[in-house]
Amino acid sequence: MSKQVVIVGAGLSGTTAASYLTQAGVPVKLFEALDRVGGRTYTVPPPENCSGPVDHGAGYVGSTQTAVKALLQELNVETHEVPGDGFLYTLSWGGNVYYMKNVLPDLFKYLAWYESVAICLAIIDMYWKGMSINTEEPWNSRNADEWDNMTVQNWIDTKFPGSKFSNARTIFQFVCRIPLGVEASETSFLYFLWYFKCGSGFYDLLFPAQDRIVVGGTQQLSEKINATLPKESQAQLKTPVLAMDNNDSSKVVITPAGSSQIEAERCILAMTPHTRDYIAFNPLLSPMYHQLPQRTPMGTTIKIHLFYKEKFWLVDKNLNGNATIFDGDSISQTYDCTAPGGTPCLQAFYVGKVGRRMAMMDRKAREADAKKTIGKIFGEKANDSIGYSEFIWDNHPWIGGAPTGTCAPGTLTCYGNAVRAPTGRIHFASTETAYEWTGYMDGAIRAGHRAASEVLKELGKPEPKPLPPVPVEQMRKDDVDKLKLVVNFTSQSVQKWKIQISNLNVASNAAVAQNATTKEAQQFLATQFQNSSEELKDYIKENKMQADDLITGLKMLQESVSNPNMLAA
């Protein structure tokens, strides 16, 4: 048994690793603290008199998440499109509700021209900064120290100075809060950029990451993988690992709760990083590894499901059920997640700071709050729900939050390497260790595959065949197309104000030559805006750097479209 490998955690990452190892003939022991496999995929039955499974955890599959798509195919699990285009989306901010055909162009219609411009500039800035991130080693990115010493909020404050941009600020705070469950003021800007780069850019992460649900729920992926394992390698439930002893450097001695010690050649910890601290290592891991778990707080996510007799949002108002609530209400987002043939169901999220407050209230208060908000945006029939289900991830005994372990300033540059790099005979999986679609099911699968590959290499066994790559080129092309769209929308929005910003697209203009200084760029902008209102002139004056950014951004954008090599980070 000397070549046995122990895996701790039977979520998607741990079961994936177990699968690759056992396929290569390696004996595996898989331990799981919970009474089920699946980790952050967690499927429960619907409330009484309702049908369709409820995904309390990971629920969506995006079009560029090729690892999870391949796994779904391999396991013969179907997906089902979330209602989207063709119906109306809902956006709500500042106490007002807006219904729109396409979120991005239409959103600009409701913002002042200067906020549209500022948002356009910020998206371009975020995109280009994100593209410079080294995803495998973000701490080795060009501006790593500078950006890891900043919060996302610091960046937002730079892009949206003064009091004129409160909507823009709200939107970008939302852009941090929604995928991570933590506030912009709590999050390292480097980590934020890295997360988005791993998830294929600004736009793709917020939208197509959520385009299909898994028929039958997502937990079945881990269950099915677990079922294919040799019986002796299947997950031992309710068995947390208490200790790992590596004093004899030729092996690791594992102490699972309630059963006898076993020896392993190597171990894979497939757990969210803050829980590594639950294991007593002897000798201790090195200081960097020992302090990391204190520094990867989970986000706050409460996911609720409300069931209805009919899709009243669709029937009454032609709404697709997808609402984005930037501020003013406690709920941040809703989706129509009705299972094929199942009871009509709306899903809603409480996240971040407001989520923390809601988590301390009682269940009835949350249900009432959710119905009130859903009623306001979708109609009064929100009150006629026939079933309610909720899960507070912050209170999960072993995971303690969702969707992912995040990084405050200083963590990635000081402790980042300890997230994934093996130490001694210990390897690491979990979606946090992925550098493609980290925080998602796709990342969990890639992390399990990568950790298994590391171990197989050490054991002198052939590594498994690679996973389908993330379609990077296509994704970058899509990003640029979307950026161009944003620029066009901004341009239209500004034209509405009779301002000739569209001329900015003439990137060949002498004033925006590669070496244009900030001053030249300002002059160029001033020329473009010569017929503009006083307000615009003030804006240019107050936002010198931003005006320069816009020109630089537009120029780089145009160049990169004609020269794909520029797209490489």
Annotated binding site for FAD: 13, 32-33, 432
Concatenating the DSSP letter of every residue in 251-314 gives -EEEEETTS--EEESEEEE-S-GGGGGGSEEESPPPHHHHHGGGG-PBPPEEEEEEE-SS-HHH
Which residues carry a binding-site annotation?
13, 32-33, 241, 349, 432
Which residues carry a binding-site annotation for substrate?
241, 349
Q: Does 327 bind a second copy (CB under 8 A)?
A: no
Concatenating the DSSP letter of every residue in 386-449 gives SEEEEEEGGG-TTT-SSS-B---TTHHHHHTHHHHS-BTTEEE-SGGG-SSSTTSHHHHHHHHH
d(CA 407, CA 421): 17
Residue among 294 and 495 whose Cβ is closer to a second copy: 294
DSSP3 helix / strand / coil % (the chain, rounded to 5) = 50, 15, 35
The neighbouring-strand residues paired with 325 are 92
Residue among 145 and 538 whose Cβ is closer to a second copy: 145
Measured at the alpha carbon of residue 22, what is the angle toward residues 19 and 27, in degrees to the nearest 5?
135
Given 180, 264, 298, 475, the residue binding a second copy (CB under 8 A): 298
Residue among 130 and 352 whose Cβ is closer to a second copy: 352
Binding mask 247-286 for a second copy (x = CB under 8 A): ---------------------------x--xx-x---x-x
Q: Is 348 helix (H, G, I), strand (E, B) or coil?
A: strand
Residue among 285 and 451 whose Cβ is closer to a second copy: 285
Cis amide leading into 403 (omega within 30): yes
- CA distances from residue 50 to 45, 305, 551 in whole angstroms, order as listed: 9, 11, 54
Q: Does 395 bind a second copy (CB under 8 A)?
A: yes
Q: Is 138 helix (H, G, I), strand (E, B) or coil?
A: helix
Given 150, 171, 205, 370, the residue binding a second copy (CB under 8 A): 150
Binding mask 347-366 for a second copy (x = CB under 8 A): ------x--x--xx------
CB 456 within 8 A of CB 89: no
Concatenating the DSSP letter of every residue in 438-493 gives TTSHHHHHHHHHHHHHHHHHHTT-PPPPPPPPP-HHHHHHHHHHHHHHHHHHHHHH
Minimum distance, C-beta of residue 325 to a second copy, in the bound complex (Å): 20
Q: Does 239 bind a second copy (CB under 8 A)?
A: no
Residue among 416 and 448 whose Cβ is closer to a second copy: 416
Q: Does 438 bind a second copy (CB under 8 A)?
A: no
Given 66, 116, 226, 296, the residue binding a second copy (CB under 8 A): 296
Q: Which stretch binds a second copy (CB under 8 A): 117-125, 246-254, 294-302, 537-545?
A: 294-302
d(CA 546, CA 117): 9
Q: Does 414 bind a second copy (CB under 8 A)?
A: yes
Minimum distance, C-beta of residue 142 to a second copy, in the bound complex (Å): 18
Q: Which stretch binds a second copy (CB under 8 A): 50-58, 297-305, 463-471, 541-549?
A: 297-305
Q: Does 290 bind a second copy (CB under 8 A)?
A: yes
Helix (H) or strand (E) run with residue 31 in it:
strand 28-31
d(CA 480, CA 203): 10
Binding mask 108-147 for a second copy (x = CB under 8 A): ----------------------------------------
Minimum distance, C-beta of residue 243 to a second copy, in the bound complex (Å): 11
Binding mask 171-190 for a second copy (x = CB under 8 A): -----------xx-xx----
Q: Does 75 bind a second copy (CB under 8 A)?
A: no
| Amino acid found at 206 | L
Burial class (CB in 10 A: 0-12, 13-18, 19+), 32: buried
Residue among 295 and 425 whose Cβ is closer to a second copy: 295
CB 411 within 8 A of CB 425: no
Minimum distance, C-beta of residue 402 to a second copy, in the bound complex (Å): 11
Residue among 133 and 285 whose Cβ is closer to a second copy: 285
d(CA 192, CA 80): 30
Residue among 430 and 532 whose Cβ is closer to a second copy: 430
Residue among 26 and 176 whose Cβ is closer to a second copy: 176
Q: Does 408 bind a second copy (CB under 8 A)?
A: yes
Q: Does 397 bind a second copy (CB under 8 A)?
A: yes
Q: Which two tokens stand for residue 23?
A: 């396929």
| Amino acid found at 31 | F
Burial class (CB in 10 A: 0-12, 13-18, 19+), 182: buried
Concatenating the DSSP letter of every residue in 171-226 gives HHHHHHHHHHSS-GGGSBHHHHHHHHHHTTHHHHHHTGGGSEEETT-SHHHHHHHH
Site size for a second copy (CB under 8 A): 42
Residue among 296 and 333 whose Cβ is closer to a second copy: 296
Q: Does 368 bind a second copy (CB under 8 A)?
A: no
Judged by the rule CB under 8 A, the positions of this chain that interact with a second copy are: 148-151, 153-154, 182-183, 185-186, 274, 277-278, 280, 284, 286-288, 290-291, 294-298, 300, 353, 356, 359-360, 392, 394-395, 397, 400-401, 408-411, 414-415
